[in-house]
Copies of this chain bind each other. A is one copy, B any other.
Amino acid sequence: MVTKQLLAGLPEDADLRRSDSLAREIFSDVANKWALLIIEALGERTLRFGELRDEVEGVSHKMLTQNLRMLERNGLVDRTVHPTVPPRVEYTLTGPGRDLRGAVDAICGWTHQHLSHIERARGRFGG
C-alpha cells in the first residue's frame, strides 16, 4: 500500500495505526497546490503577508491565511508578529519547511520540462 510505503522504517507496534493516519493527514495537508506554491514562494526569504499575496499568483486573502495557519501548525513556517502600527507580520520557512523545497523544486522543474510533451498528449487524447 502507498501508506505502508509512507511509513517504511517507522517504529512499529501500537503507534503504527496512529502514525499511519497522522502521516496521511500531513501528506494531505502538504500535497496541495497552495501549500506547495507558498513554500516555493518563500524559499530562503522572509516575506510579509502582503508580499506573499503578491508573490503567489492568484491566491486569495482567505486561502493564503488558511494555508499559512496550516503550515504554521505543522511547523513548516515561522510567523513573527512585530507589534507596530500598522502591524508587520513576517513569514519564513523552518528547517523542515526548507527540507521540502527540494521536492517542490523538482515538481516545478518537471512541469516546465514536460510542457510540450503534455501539450501533445492532450492533443492525442482529445482526437
Contacts and interface: CB of A to CB of B under 8 A. Distances in A.
Interface of A: 1-3, 5-10, 19, 22-24, 26-28, 30-33, 36-37, 40-41, 54-58, 72-75, 96, 99-100, 102-103, 106-108, 110-115, 117-122, 125
B57 A24 contact: yes
B115 A19 contact: yes
Given A31-B32, A33-B28, A40-B5, A125 B10 contact: no
Given A31-B32, A55-B2, A115 B73 contact: no
Contacts of A24: 57-58
Nearest to A43: B5
